[in-house]
Amino acid sequence: MKFLSQPYPLEQRASRKMLIAIAFGLFIFAFLYLFRPFGLHYMESDELTKASLHLGIICSALLAFNFLILPQIFTSLFDDVNWTIKKEILDILWNISTIFFINMFYVSFYLEYDFSTWKLLTCLFSTIAIVILPVSIYVLIKNMVLLKQNLRTAHVIAMGMHYKKRLTSTPDATLTIHAENKNEVFTILARDLLYITSSNDFIEIFYLEKGSVKIKQINATLKSARDDLRTFTAFYRCHREWIVNLDQVVSITGNAQGFRLILNHIETTIPISSNLNTEITNRLSK
């Protein structure tokens, strides 16, 4: 099932995540109040409103925690560059499962309804069995639509590329990147730098040496590296974890996540943050 490993966009906007969490909480409130499952139909109107409101708020709070807090705790797991169709489906099922358990525990406590462990697990697996197919279909369709759209747009951008190389006028210019302790420095010809990416507490510098691609690891941040490169307009921070030498860009492609830059000398494609799509398009067309 290679298609499950295909790239998929991970929602990064906090405002969008909160909107989804609030909207889902309102949906839960309306659903419970109108259809009254789990024994809620025995409750008086005031008690029903109170219980439905509680469950709606709990669902919104839980989704907000899953959307905003968990990615901060498990940063490597919620990496947008390595997010895939499989991870998206599992993430949706995780949200459904946690909402299910919290709701069941609340109903058990508030209504004094006795749920055995076996009954809880049976209901959970039944719920997952019901939703997994439509969830998977939705994710796959969205992936295909975004992939087709981004590939088409990337082709248009690539055809319109008229990027004027910045470093050709100063071929002997050098750059120096400083480590955090200031005792270690790395100096190369500016035109030989391909890209820089962050890796935990280090940055990895990919550069050319006698025509071969080399890697240098330095204890520094991407922000400090960007500060060292500010005198060169050819270097562009296209993603929170990547700085690229635009002089080395030969084309642009896309996947469901967005656009990716194709560079000379390497097979790795460089991701572009979705909020920078317009800016990178303008940079490459000049």
Domains of the chain: residue spans and CATH = 2-144 (no CATH), 160-284 (2.40.50.1020)
Give the C-alpha distances (Å, rounded to integers) separating 271 from 27, 242, 252.
36, 8, 10
Q: List, in sequence order, every residue forming a beta bridge with 174; answer none if it has no partner.
A: 189
Counting Cβ atoms within 10 Å, is residue 201 exposed (0-12), middle (13-18) or buried (19+)? Answer: exposed
Residue-level pLDDT at 125: 87
Mean pLDDT estimate for the chain: 90
Q: State pTM to two decimals.
A: 0.87
CB atoms within 10 A of CB 242: 20
Task: Tell me the pLDDT tens digit for each residue of 169-215.
Answer: 888 999 999 998 877 899 999 999 999 999 878 999 999 999 999 99
Evaluate if residue 244 carries a pLDDT over 90. Answer: yes
Task: Tell me the pLDDT tens digit for each residue of 77-116.
Answer: 999 999 999 999 999 999 999 988 888 888 777 666 666 7
Q: Mean per-residue pLDDT for 65-70?
A: 96
Q: Compute the chain's Rg from CA coordinates.
A: 25
H helices within the chain, ranges in order?
14-35, 45-64, 70-73, 85-110, 117-159, 222-228, 277-284
Task: Tell me the pLDDT tens digit for each residue of 128-156.
Answer: 888 899 999 999 999 999 999 999 999 99
**CB-based contact 191:167 (threshold 8 Å):** yes
